[in-house]
Structure 1
Amino acid sequence: MSERREAYEALDLALRIGEVLLSSGAGAADVSATMLEVTRACGVRNVSADVTFVDLTLRHQPSRDEPAAIQVRRVNRRPVDYANLVEVDQAVTELVAGRITRDEARDRVARIVSTGHSRPRWAVTLGWGVMGAGIALTLGGGPVICVLAFIAACGIDATQRLLPPHRIPTFYQQAAGGFVATMIAVLASATSIEADPSRVVTSGIVMLLAGVGILGATQDALTGFPVTASARVIDAFLNTMGIIAGVGAGLTVGDLLGVGLVDLEVGAAGIAEAGVIVVGAALAASGFAFASYAPWRALVAVALVGGLGQAVLLSVNSTAVGRTWGSAVAAVVIGAVCHLAAGRFRVPPLVVVVPAIVPLLPGLEVYRGLALLAQGHDGVLELASALATALALAAGVILGQYVARPIKREADRLERRLSGPRMVGRG
């Protein structure tokens, strides 16, 4: 009974850690591997793991003549908190390395999950506003448009905060956010503002797309977890349809009021404009990371990698390759750099990767497709291009991490030979 109790406690700890990882957007393969690492570190062998979109299952069978012990944990949807993810990842690292015991790891994980968010809610809202303003910069928006995008992002965040307590499904939350952003643009367009408020709509679309788990869905599909991938794809599809419904409703209201929001020209003509776009991407990426409670030390890495990805996209777009392939190349660079550099900032690569690809999300294609549909034209091609770009981003990031793995192994081997064991980060 004592050995059985020890096994149950190890399985429970692994499941609690897996829940934090899965709710933070980690892929099923990473969640499964981490849970098995935890059980091995606790001295429990012969464990198998199963990960779905809503359930985590661990099976332990000590020998063939003993019944298997099965523990299942339901994964509750919660806002992404990268601070919790970083602390749990550090606890797993120390547990596997033998620096803390199972009981200490369990107490630490319980404290991390129950403490609450590390930033006040108003600061998170400002972070979303900064992200919206950064996206407006990448679209060539001026000061007025950046202010409107800031207001729209804060309004979307307020909407996303008010609806969940009433158990409103995510589809309607996304629709409400898209409608709020579009109506702010419509109201601005109805005034004497001499600017293109359609950039405000695009900024709102990018903000809402950032919460769609296309990266995790693609990773699961590529790493052999079809059930989890299918569930995540359906979830991402419904959330994206919510955005389309909300923005489409706002554009329809604008047409009824005689306010059109159709044309959007992205101004990246010269070196100066390109520099502003790169700065806007860095600002948007760091704003998203801040709003997702990423540690302060990670914001520097996020800004640098986000700006780098945008610079690569601009460079590739200057050729005849096209935006989809340009997005794929930029995503490969982001994935490789994050895999190599995340350890330097003592954060998992996921904390840097997801914010860094936010400025590259196809909000522009989604907006143009919806605007064309609202006018009675064919906008399906633009929406299909947006889907292709999103998949290229997700697949490119994962490919970049595969490319960087042998480089990182050689770099770690050289560092250990020259300077001895590393005291921080993953060895």
Structure 2
Amino acid sequence: MTASGSAQGAYRSRTPYQGQSAGQAANPTTDQLPVHAELPQASYPATLPQPPVRPRRRGAASLRSFAQPQQALTVPIRGLARVAQRQLAQVALTRYQQRLRQKEETHEILAFAVRLAETMFHYGADAADVDAAVVTVCAVYGIQDVEVDITHQSIMINYVSEFDEAAGRGQLPEAGGLGAEKLGLTLVRVVRSTSENYRALHQLYRLVHDIAQGRVTRGRAERRLAQVNAQKKPYSPAVLLVWNLLMAGAFTLGVGGSWRAAVTSLVVFTVVNFVLVWAGRLNLPSYFMMAIGAATITVLALLVSDSAGWFYTRGFYVSAPHIVAAGLMMLLPTFRLVSAVQDALHGFPLTAAGKFVITGANFTGIIAGIAVALTVMNYFDATSLDVQGSVFSPPPLWVSIAGMAVGSAMSAAAWQGSAQTICLTLLVSLLGQAAYYGVGAVMGEAGGRLQVLAGATLVGLSAALLGYLLHSPASIYYVPGMMFMLPGLTIFRSSYLVLGGEDVFAGVQGLTLAGVTVLLMATGIVCGTYVWDEITRRLRLRNSHQ
């Protein structure tokens, strides 16, 4: 093999990640394709189409080459290429090619790891899970001591290797002890969009598990990653609308609304869905989307519940606070809120800070939308919503449990969860509510915060168990499964009191209590996952000693 052949091989090995977009998997068959078939158009010189050339006979071609003058050499041959025919040079050339291939393989492994991390982050994985996945994949494919830095919108992988240590372990042939030659590589990928897709996230976790078990080669792993990115979401917009309608009705019943309020929530959210679809075509930020959704829900709820309105005069009595509360449970960024607290507890402060900022902006948008809706309704002398006087009478226990469980299951469906995920989320919600109401029955009103901690811990423990058994992320079970504990109404009322200036002290006190509740929810979920990790670690140690 000549030096030019080595350079061509190096050029070809870099093609899986040159010119690729974020999250796009490499072609696993690049070593079998010509160079012009592997690279995008921008990576190689374009040529005009030529007419087909008739094959010439071998003898005629040799005679023609003998008769024609030779082209003069204008570029001098240097280095190993000049003495490639010598025996010692051939040994050095072989070693050079092996070291070059080692560097190229290292870069390819890191490139695949950063694409996998970007895809997981895009589909809603936690920062701790992304960090563990990158380290695991790199270790399985032969790269140790990888450093991963994750912020809210970027993923950076840093690696520095010492080739003399690798040679001493037999990985390289040049174990001569000539000093440490370090290769430093840093790959960065920015993630500016997210899309909750529980089915795709489950498939990515299965891929990481198969890689960790040594069942998948890197070429096959790249193909599976490309398939996850190329597949369509399981549910169409029409089916998603059905899931959201069922979620709205179930949450309305769960917070104590009547069947009339549940039916009204179905109609209200249908209108809200089409309004948000129309607003989404304008590519508005999430702040404006939250404001538009909250304003639409509030206006429709007040119109239906107006004592001088058409519905009220015909005996159709509904409570606007129940409808608004159910709508807020669907609009509140519960995933980002709990995920931010989890990232802070896991040691990712920058990621948590970014999520807190976006969550705070979304909360502000919701309050701004409600405030605008109330102002407009008051201007037209319509009924208003008394925030301080909105006290919900609790529904029958079985109605609350059933409504919250069905609403949690429909939340998993709205986030593109499979049928198995929907059923298991229903089970996780029921287990969490059993712990929540069980502690409440034993301790009474004094165990309010302990109820949240117990329910969240059991939700996290059961979700971690399901994730361990099914090789899936625990978040697809505990995020929708813990929604029955979300203090949506408290956050709304307290924020409105603070921003409106009606009772700032009561608003601050309510926000503090809501913040403690959210912190306890995240703490209980993380505690449950850690408890299960410790159980599995001890089981592995016991099995290894037997």
Fold in common (TM above 0.5): yes
Is the alpha carbon distance of 1:370 and 1:29 closer, same or farther for their aligned partners in structure 2, counting shifts above 3 Å?
closer
Q: Which is worse superposed, 324-333 or 313-322?
A: 313-322
Map of 1:425 onto structure 2: none
Alignment check: 8 A CA contact 2:466 2:472 kept = no
Query: For 2:155, what is the secondary structure of its paired residue?
Result: strand
The correspondence of residues 385-400 of structure 1 with structure 2, limited to 5 A, is 385-400=513-528
Map of 2:287 onto structure 1: 171
Higher RCO (C-alpha under 8 Å, 6+ residues apart): 1
Question: How far apart, CA to CA, are the structure 2 residues paired with 1:70 and 1:316?
Answer: 50
The partner residue of 1:79 within 190, 195, 218 is 195
The partner residue of 2:138 within 28, 33, 39 is 39
Question: How far apart, CA to CA, are the structure 2 residues paired with 1:284 and 1:352?
Answer: 13
Q: Does residue 119 of the first structure (1) align with residue 235 of the second (2)?
A: yes
| Structure 1 unpaired stretches of 5+ | 419-427
The partner residue of 1:65 within 181, 185, 200 is 181
One-letter code aligned to 2:399? V
Is the alpha carbon distance of 1:185 and 1:311 closer, same or farther for their aligned partners in structure 2, counting shifts above 3 Å?
farther
Map of 1:423 onto structure 2: none
The correspondence of residues 348-427 of structure 1 with structure 2, limited to 5 A, is 348-369=473-494, 376-378=502-504, 379-380=506-507, 381-409=509-537
Alignment check: 8 A CA contact 2:121 2:194 kept = no
Map of 1:259 onto structure 2: 383
Cα deviations across residues 267-292 of structure 1 (Å, max 9, x unaligned)? 436xxx11111111111111110010
Query: For 1:117, what is the secondary structure of its paired residue?
Result: coil
One-letter code aligned to 1:86? H
Is the alpha carbon distance of 1:345 and 1:133 closer, same or farther for their aligned partners in structure 2, counting shifts above 3 Å?
farther
Map of 1:131 onto structure 2: 247
One-letter code aligned to 1:402? Y
Question: How far apart, CA to CA, are the structure 1 residues paired with 2:390 and 2:434?
Answer: 21
Cα deviations across residues 119-154 of structure 1 (Å, max 9, x unaligned)? 111111221221111211211112111122233334
Question: How far apart, CA to CA, are the structure 1 residues paired with 2:322 and 2:543?
Answer: 46
Tell me the C-alpha RMSD between the 2 structures.
2.5
One-letter code aligned to 1:245? A
The partner residue of 2:410 within 282, 287, 294 is 287
Aligned pairs, how many?
Answer: 415
Alignment check: 8 A CA contact 1:153 1:207 kept = no
Q: Which is worse superposed, 147-156 or 345-354?
A: 147-156
Map of 1:302 onto structure 2: 425
Question: How far apart, CA to CA, are the structure 1 residues paired with 2:521 and 2:185?
Answer: 40
The correspondence of residues 79-228 of structure 1 with structure 2, limited to 5 A, is 79-190=195-306, 191-192=311-312, 193-228=316-351
| Structure 2 unpaired stretches of 5+ | 1-99, 163-179
Identity of aligned residues (%): 25
Per-residue deviation, 1:335? 0.7
Q: Which is worse superposed, 402-411 or 168-177?
A: 402-411
Higher helix share: 1
One-letter code aligned to 1:28? A
Question: How far apart, CA to CA, are the structure 1 residues paired with 2:213 and 2:278?
Answer: 43
Question: How far apart, CA to CA, are the structure 1 residues paired with 2:159 and 2:544?
Answer: 36
One-letter code aligned to 1:166? L
Alignment check: 8 A CA contact 1:39 1:45 kept = yes
Q: Which is worse superposed, 182-191 or 274-283?
A: 182-191
Is the alpha carbon distance of 1:103 and 1:154 closer, same or farther for their aligned partners in structure 2, counting shifts above 3 Å?
farther
Alignment check: 8 A CA contact 1:132 1:284 kept = yes
Map of 1:338 onto structure 2: 463
Cα deviations across residues 310-333 of structure 1 (Å, max 9, x unaligned)? 343334445123544422221111
One-letter code aligned to 2:382? G
Query: For 1:61, what is the secondary structure of its paired residue?
Result: strand
Map of 1:421 onto structure 2: none
Per-residue deviation, 1:251? 2.9
